[in-house]
Amino acid sequence: MQLLCSISNGQQKKLERPRLVIGIVVDQMRWDYLYRYYNRYSENGFKRILQEGFNCQNTYLSYLPTYTAPGHASIYTGAVPALHGIVGNDWIENYNSTYCCADNSVRAVGGYGKAGQMSPRNLKSSTIGDALKLATQFSSKVYGVALKDRGAIFPAGHSANAAFWFDDSSGHFISSTYYMQQLPKWLQLFNEKKWSDSALAEDWHTLYPLNTYTQSAADDNPFEHLRKHETAPIFPHKTIAKQYAQLRSLPTGNSLCFKMAKQLIKHEQLGLDATTDLLCVSLSTTDYIGHAYGPQAVEVEDCYLRLDQDIAQFLNYLDQHIGKQQYTLFITADHGAAHNANYLKSHRIPAGILSEYRLRDALKKALKQAFHSDSILLNVMNYQVFLNHQYIEKKKLPLERIKQFIIKYCEQEEGIAYALTYQDLKTQNLALAWQLPLLKGYYPKRCGDIALIYQHAWYSDGDKGTTHGAWNPYDAHIPLLWYGWGVSAGESFKRYSQEDIAASLAALLHIQVPNACTGNVIIPLLKSK
């Protein structure tokens, strides 16, 4: 591979970079969705990127648990939770339940209440956006856009110009005083146009005739959640005016996010000068729909067929406003999802559900009987058991005996394959597929005392829809597609990790990697200059 900056004919060439980098994270997109629906995709959406771009076919998350906030943080920092500190969407820190983006020192901008009290301050490392800012003396523009706050904030990083996310109460995109004191005028006007109302104007019908959705189970099946105002989980799905939270579970939520991204590119003039800019777009609707219905659902298939159209329109917009081969774009996911356990069991495939809430309550009862106290356990969350060390020390209870009691109790549960302390994980040579992911996900101040590994195809949730969080391929194998400036056409079946994305972007842009990046450069995708 030749260096971009080379000497030719005695003259030094100017260092070349794309005008704009766009990262698209499709929340809960399993790798196989690229191919399950391939024959139904248009030529100008996913297929365009697959045919003209570079496809990293074997990309995995390398840590546990496989959740939304750690996924977005890992993509853009090139680090794992043990380094960047985002160990879940929520965690317990200093004996308090903590939401990953919560920041009481800031207030909402463009909205009210806790929906706007968000910032990246819990993120302990820098992002590729921060690295780009440092490399250009902060002249590069960096933005994040998503319906979920965590899908906008962590990708954008600490020094971003802004992150914008969706407020269910108003149907507006909002931000916080971490970034600004008031929304830019263009966004105020965007919100005033009530695009959220337009997105709720029609019920959700299938894009094509229902009988053509052969890659999905029957529309009316017992494995899917009911919407509050419906009697069956079937098409068409009714919408209710002014109930903006619905947009999180409708494909039009993705369309709204792309509309917002286009307006941001236009009005903030991204990609229009010699300095590379970065736009981070996270599509949250796919996650809400996936949780509600599961990978076998017609709703999921229809969502991705509509997303394909949105991507095609977005690529066309970038071609016109930035210029073909003037931008670099990647598409990936923060995690995948399991098939619904009862759906698997209906086809004689082993699976099951073990609720963390039920396990927590049962453990509290067992601990009270064994140690005569109901204050030993703080919680069971993130597939971890959290103990109340302050109480245990105050009452001089036997900590190690308590841990061993919990381990023995948990391993008797049908859905749990292993339970062990993180100390055991460090000292024992287990040589199992989940050992290293557990260590990579362990940030001591925010993690529990005992890690739980569920049996394959078991998870902690209800009997409808699905969830994620495991090391298994259904949760950890994600798509990674590259397209545009500096990207060679092709594919690779070498195993890559989420952390390799930031490292490869840094190589592409010839900038230093983020300060905790452990990823490797995906050499084949870089086009020789």
Could you list the active site residues? 68
Number of C-beta neighbours around residue 70 at 10 A: 32
3-state secondary structure string across 348-387? CCCCEECCHHHHHHHHHHHHHHHHCCCCCEEEEECCEEEE
> CB–CB of 186/267 below 8 Å?
yes
Alpha-carbon dihedral angle through residues 324, 195, 255, 327, given to the nearest 10 degrees: 20
Gap between the Cα atoms of 55 and 154, Å rounded: 24
Helices of type H across 122-211? 128-135, 149-156, 185-192, 195-199
Paired residues of 477 in beta bridges: 60
Closest CA to 338 of 314, 354, 316: 354
Query: Between 500-509 and 128-135, two packed helices, what is the crossing angle to 10 degrees?
Result: 20
Q: How many CA atoms lie within 13 A of 188 on its CB side?
A: 7
For 142, 477, 501, 509, 526, the CA distances from 505, given in Å and listed in that order, are 14, 20, 6, 6, 10
Residue 426 · residue 82 · CB < 8 Å: no
Name the residue among 312, 306, 315 with its Cα closest to residue 286.
306
Q: Of 177, 199, 174, 198, nearest to 187 (Cα)?
A: 174
